[in-house]
């Protein structure tokens, strides 16, 4: 299935802003529903990575080089989380100072979002996984920023710039001549990031250190829908 450029570049931006407006208007209190959506997004993204990206990136490429870059992607995401405190998978353990823009949080989240946009092409379905992953993360990030003591202008600047990062990664991937020959290297790096994020979402300890039935159901649903896409 081929996607128009408007979908690839526009929908991720809309997803972030729609999540922000939703939080601004609704002020959601039920974190369990957000966590379920996060679990679904993690399962969906992980399954699409296995069904679509992994077979594609290993085809006609040196498997050792690909494996090394996937591991580099995992380690890069671990490094980024020293600064983001796990915001990419729904955690916000960050102390914001009043009226000070959180530059390290912004840079780490932006680099993550930039990398996740690089595997997107007009002919693959990973865009679905990225958008569905981005929505609960943007909701949690918006709740955190709105409840902070940051200036409204800083909050809007953060959300606006963050919303552009994934489309920017896709734009670089699609339009850069370098990617025609070496795009599989960026894809392998992104796979490592996806594997780390999605597995953390799925397998980190939940309340009572056990999965509940609703979480298992949404995970199975996420994998099943990804298989059908």
- Compute the residue count for the chain: 229
Residues of the chain falling short of pLDDT 50: 205
- The whole-angstrom separation of Cα 209 and Cα 23 is 29
Task: Determine the pLDDT at residue 207.
Answer: 53
Let me know the angle formed at the C-alpha of 88 by 27 and 83, rounded to the nearest 5 degrees. 110
Identify which of 76, 67, 176, 63 has the alpha carbon closest to the alpha carbon of residue 118. Answer: 176
Between helix 177-203 and helix 126-147 the angle, nearest 10°, is 60
> pLDDT value at position 22?
93
Q: What is the pTM of this model?
A: 0.87
Whether the CB-CB separation of 89 and 112 falls below 8 Å is answered with no
**pLDDT computed for residue 220 by the predictor:** 92
Position 125 scores a pLDDT of 83
pLDDT, position 2: 63
pLDDT of residue 26: 87
- Single out the residue of 132, 139, 124, 146 nearest to residue 197, CA to CA: 132
Would you state the pLDDT for residue 210?
Answer: 53
Tell me how far apart the alpha carbons of residues 174 and 68 are, in angstroms, rounded to a whole number.
23
Of 155, 153, 157, the C-alpha closest to 142 is 155
- pLDDT for 176: 78
Q: How far apart are CA 54 and CA 49, in angstroms?
A: 6
Which of 81, 108, 48, 50 lies closest to 204 in space, CA to CA? 81
d(CA 197, CA 73): 11
| pLDDT at residue number 94 | 59
Exposed / middle / buried, residue 97 (Cβ in 10 Å: 0-12, 13-18, 19+)? exposed
The confidence score (pLDDT) of residue 98 equals 58
């Amino acid at each position: 299935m081929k996607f128009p450029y408007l979908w690839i570049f526009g929908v991720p931006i809309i997803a972030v802003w729609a999540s922000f407006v939703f939080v601004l208007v609704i002020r959601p209190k039920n974190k369990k529903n957000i966590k379920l959506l996060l679990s679904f997004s993690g399962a969906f993204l992980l399954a699409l990575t296995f069904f679509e990206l992994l077979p594609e990136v290993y085809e006609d490429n040196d498997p050792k080089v690909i494996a090394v870059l996937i591991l580099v992607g995992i380690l890069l995401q671990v490094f980024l989380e020293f600064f983001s405190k796990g915001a990419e998978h729904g955690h916000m353990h960050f102390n914001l100072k009043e009226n000070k823009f959180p530059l390290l949080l912004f840079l780490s989240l932006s680099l993550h979002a930039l990398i996740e946009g690089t595997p997107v092409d007009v002919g693959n379905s990973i865009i679905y996984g990225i958008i569905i992953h981005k929505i609960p993360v943007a909701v949690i990030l918006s709740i955190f920023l709105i409840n902070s003591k940051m200036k409204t202008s800083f909050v809007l600047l953060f959300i606006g710039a963050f919303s552009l990062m994934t489309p920017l990664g896709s734009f670089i991937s699609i339009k850069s001549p370098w990617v025609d020959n070496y795009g599989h290297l960026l894809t392998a790096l992104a796979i490592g990031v996806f594997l780390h994020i999605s597995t953390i979402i799925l397998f980190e300890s939940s309340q009572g250190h056990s999965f509940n039935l609703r979480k298992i159901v949404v995970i199975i649903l996420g994998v099943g829908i990804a298989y059908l896409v």
